């Protein structure tokens, strides 16, 4: 098997997806379950990046470690972004509409504090046009890819500056 194996990224993504679906159907107290899920989801990126650059016999230097790590973390990022779109678009359809109300109320309160007079319809139009599933998916993909690049560069650089082990 070639190191690093893309199957590891797929397995980790499927495990995180399974956790999200299990939490959705179990209907736990989201105040505690949601931060746990986000922690597991985001902790997978540095773990996958570290797995990809973990020292093994015959491994290359900084660039090959970065490339290997980006392959693994990039695949994970793409899978999780696609799942995000499917999950909020088809499974948990009430997420965005329920958050619209929270955002609208918060914006109306902030506008009143600033002395601005905004109508609920103006704010609703702005919120719904920006805070959409499409925009959230694009932002999530950009964030995942930025984190993937950071962790890939960080762990590859760390591996290249640490003293080599003698086997």
pLDDT in tens, 19-57: 999 999 998 887 888 899 999 999 999 999 999 888 665
Q: Which pLDDT does position 154 carry in this prediction?
A: 95
Q: Which pLDDT does position 143 carry in this prediction?
A: 96
User: How many domains, in total, are found in the chain?
Assistant: 1
Let me know if residue 62 belongs to a domain.
yes
Let me know if residue 109 belongs to a domain.
no
Domain span including residue 52: 6-91+141-161
User: Which residues of the chain register pLDDT less than 50?
Assistant: none
Q: Is the dihedral of CA 15, 141, 78, 43 positive or negative?
A: negative
Q: Which pLDDT does position 145 carry in this prediction?
A: 97
What gap in Å lies between CA 54 and CA 165, rounded to an integer? 12
Let me know if residue 76 belongs to a domain.
yes
Q: Which pLDDT does position 159 carry in this prediction?
A: 86
Let me know if residue 105 belongs to a domain.
no
pTM of the model: 0.84
């Amino acid at each position: 098997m070639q190191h690093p194996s893309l199957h590891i990224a797929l397995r980790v993504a499927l495990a995180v997806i399974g956790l999200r679906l299990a939490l959705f159907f179990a209907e736990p107290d989201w105040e505690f379950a949601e931060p746990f899920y986000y922690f597991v989801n985001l902790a997978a990126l540095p773990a996958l990046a570290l797995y990809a650059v973990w020292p093994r016999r015959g491994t290359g230097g900084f660039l090959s470690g970065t490339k290997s790590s980006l392959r693994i973390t990039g695949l994970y990022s793409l899978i999780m972004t696609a799942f995000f779109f499917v999950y909020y678009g088809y499974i948990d359809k009430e997420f965005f509409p329920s958050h619209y109300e929270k955002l609208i109320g918060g914006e109306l309160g902030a506008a009143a504090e600033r002395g601005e007079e905004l109508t609920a319809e103006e704010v609703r139009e702005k919120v719904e046009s920006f805070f959409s599933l499409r925009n959230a998916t694009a932002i999530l993909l950009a964030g995942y890819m930025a984190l993937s690049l950071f962790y890939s560069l960080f762990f590859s650089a760390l591996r290249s500056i640490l003293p080599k082990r003698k086997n």
